[in-house]
Structure 1
Amino acid sequence: MPSLKEIKTRIASVNSTRKITSAMKMVASSKLHHAQVMIQNMLPYEDLLERILKSFLSSEADAQTVFSLERPVKRVALIVYASNSSLCGGFNTNVIKMMQQAIEEYKSLGNDNILIYPIGRRIAEKVAKLGLKSGGSFLELADKPNSSQCIDIAKDIMDKFNKGELDRVEMIYHHFKSAGSQVLTRRTFLPIDLSEDFTADNDRDLSSNVVTAKAQEYLRKKKSKEYQSGESVPLNDDFIVEPDLKTVLNELIPKMLHLMVYTALLDSNASEHAARMVAMQTATDNADEILRQLNLQYNKSRQQAITNELLDIVGGSVNN
């Protein structure tokens, strides 16, 4: 049985750890709020552009570009989003597992025909360890999302796809639905499926950082009622194309692809902070439970020591 001094040292150690996890939880909560604001500021542009593109493509039977044509897959690229740091639960581990599953599916092509765009140090280290080809270093992008660098990545991929250096491009990232729910997603980037419902992923809950199940359920019900009460009016699909269909598609589709890279980055960034916040909250709760048990053990040991001393005193007085 540990001594009172050992238990007291252990309590002090757990208290110090709890202070760290609690502080990290608050920092992650603050960063999550900023990430939610960034997504919220981007959503109006994303929604309208996707609605315009979807309505336009669905109304034009001849809407075909080089980016929407299927072809035999000989060379593939994966855009994989992770984080630079750890202590965020299974966030990075799950992304790496899905990346390895995708690599296993394309194993017959050979490692030389698989190109990885690693966004985040954890993924970059794994890619180097596996000996795969990397599309560049994007460590800063994982911590500080910016649209200009996302546009550069999208342009590089589009250029390779246009030249025939790539036949298929996929994205692997966490889709941020709420502070308590991040969905690991594998999505086709190129070629574009023109019949795809682009707005299917706009289901984020940006109203709260609360991660309890009851709070999330309440917010989901409230949100669904709001959607039912105010449905959006569809766009007019009677388009007059100027100067021509090809020129318009060559402008709209690259913008959509740039937006997809940037949106996935914001999703991944917000998911990372949410996962870290949940992990640090869990660690803090575990520390509280350990402290409760240690305090109980300390009090029992202390009471036992006092009882033994009293028995010694009483026993000595009786013998005298």
Structure 2
Amino acid sequence: MASLKDIKTRISSVRSTRQITSAMKMVASAKLHKAQGAIENMLPYQTKLNAILTNFLRTDSTIDSPYIAVRPVNKVAIVVFSSSTSLCGAFNANVAKHFVQVLEDYKHLDQKNILIYPIGKKIEENIKKMGYEVQGSFQHLADKPSYKESSELGERLMDLFASKEVDRVELIYHHFKSTASQTLVRENFLPLDLTVDQVDKKIKGKNIDYIVEPSAADFIANLLPKVITLKMYTALLDSNASEHAARTMAMQIATDNANELIQDLTKQYNKSRQQSITNELLDIIGGSMR
């Protein structure tokens, strides 16, 4: 049985850990509030814009764009979003696990025909351990989402797709629903999906007669690249908000567990102390009766 001193030392140690986890939870919660505001402001705009554009492309068969071309997949690019730091529960482990599942779908391709763009230190390290070569380092984007840099990455992937160097581009990231819920998403970035099932059910099946000036071709040429790059930035914000939410929950759970452990140790300490006093009293009583 542990001595009173050992139990007291452990209680002190757990209390120190609780202070750390509690502070980390407060920091993560503050970052989450900012990240949640960013994604909640961006997502409705991006969703509606994508819905309008998708419906426009579906209703006009004369529109031609290199970004809607569906080809047999001989070469694929995968953008994977994770965090650059730990202590966020199973956030990064789930991303890595899902990434392995996606690779299974492309096991018929040579490794050189799978281009991987990791966003976040954790997934980048994981991919390198698996023996894959990464197409650049984007660790800083996981901590500080940047529209400029995410747009440059989006444009880079668009150029690869338009020049037929890759036949498909996929995104793997967490979609933020609430502080307690984040869903892993596997989404086609290119070619554009011309179904609106996931985008906006209100306009599904409707053939809206758009009036476009100066011409539909100019409209597509100017707007389509912006919509696609915006999609990359939205995924980045989504992943960032999900990371902070996961860390907030993980630190809350850790703090709650520390509180429970302190209560159990305190009970154990009081019980051991009571037992020690009882034994001493028994020794005194037994000695006086001799």
TM-score (norm 2): 0.94
* Deviation, structure 1 residue 48: 4.2
Q: Return the alpha-carbon distance in structure 2 between the equivalents of residues 73 and 107 of structure 1.
A: 12
Q: Return the alpha-carbon distance in structure 1 between the equivalents of residues 47 and 183 of structure 2.
A: 20
- Contact persistence 1:18–1:284 (CA under 8 A): yes
Aligned Cα root-mean-square deviation (Å): 1.9
- For the structure 1 residues 200 and 180, does the alpha-carbon distance in structure 2 shift closer, same or farther, using more than 3 Å as the test? farther
The number of equivalent residue pairs is 288
- For the structure 1 residues 198 and 245, does the alpha-carbon distance in structure 2 shift closer, same or farther, using more than 3 Å as the test? farther
Structure-to-structure mapping, 1:183-198, within 5 angstroms: 183-197=183-197
Q: Return the alpha-carbon distance in structure 2 between the equivalents of residues 250 and 123 of structure 1.
A: 34
Counterpart in the other structure of 1:316: 287
Counterpart in the other structure of 2:13: 13
Counterpart in the other structure of 2:159: 159
- Contact persistence 1:15–1:291 (CA under 8 A): yes
Match of 1:275 among 246, 249, 252: 246
* Deviation, structure 1 residue 64: 3.3
Alignment of 1:171 with 2:138, yes or no, is no
SS in 1 for 2:289: helix
* Deviation, structure 1 residue 56: 2.1
Give the letter for the 1:16 counterpart.
S
Runs of 4+ in 1 over 6 A off after TM superposition: none
* Deviation, structure 1 residue 130: 1.9
Q: Return the alpha-carbon distance in structure 2 between the equivalents of residues 105 and 72 of structure 1.
A: 14
Alignment of 1:26 with 2:26, yes or no, is yes
Structure-to-structure mapping, 1:74-93, within 5 angstroms: 74-93=74-93
Structure-to-structure mapping, 1:1-320, within 5 angstroms: 1-43=1-43, 45-197=45-197, 199=199, 237-319=208-290
| Unpaired segments ≥5 residues, structure 2 | none
Q: Return the alpha-carbon distance in structure 2 between the equivalents of residues 246 and 177 of structure 1.
A: 36
SS in 2 for 1:185: strand
Identity %: 56
Counterpart in the other structure of 1:227: none
* Deviation, structure 1 residue 96: 0.6
SS in 1 for 2:176: strand
Q: Return the alpha-carbon distance in structure 1 between the equivalents of residues 264 and 62 of structure 2.
A: 70
Q: Return the alpha-carbon distance in structure 1 between the equivalents of residues 44 and 264 of structure 2.
A: 50
| Unpaired segments ≥5 residues, structure 1 | 202-230
SS in 2 for 1:109: coil
Greater shift in the superposed pair: 125-134 or 264-273 = 125-134
SS in 2 for 1:177: strand
Q: Return the alpha-carbon distance in structure 1 between the equivalents of residues 59 and 102 of structure 2.
A: 34
- Contact persistence 1:54–1:197 (CA under 8 A): no
Give the letter for the 2:214 counterpart.
P
- Contact persistence 2:55–2:196 (CA under 8 A): no
Greater shift in the superposed pair: 250-259 or 91-100 = 250-259
Give the letter for the 2:131 counterpart.
G
* Deviation, structure 1 residue 255: 1.4
Give the letter for the 1:109 counterpart.
L
- Cα displacement string for residues 144-175 of structure 1 (whole angstroms, at most 9, x for unaligned residues): 00110111000000001111110011100000
* Deviation, structure 1 residue 44: 5.1
- Contact persistence 1:54–1:198 (CA under 8 A): no
- For the structure 1 residues 167 and 58, does the alpha-carbon distance in structure 2 shift closer, same or farther, using more than 3 Å as the test? closer
Q: Return the alpha-carbon distance in structure 1 between the equivalents of residues 58 and 13 of structure 2.
A: 62
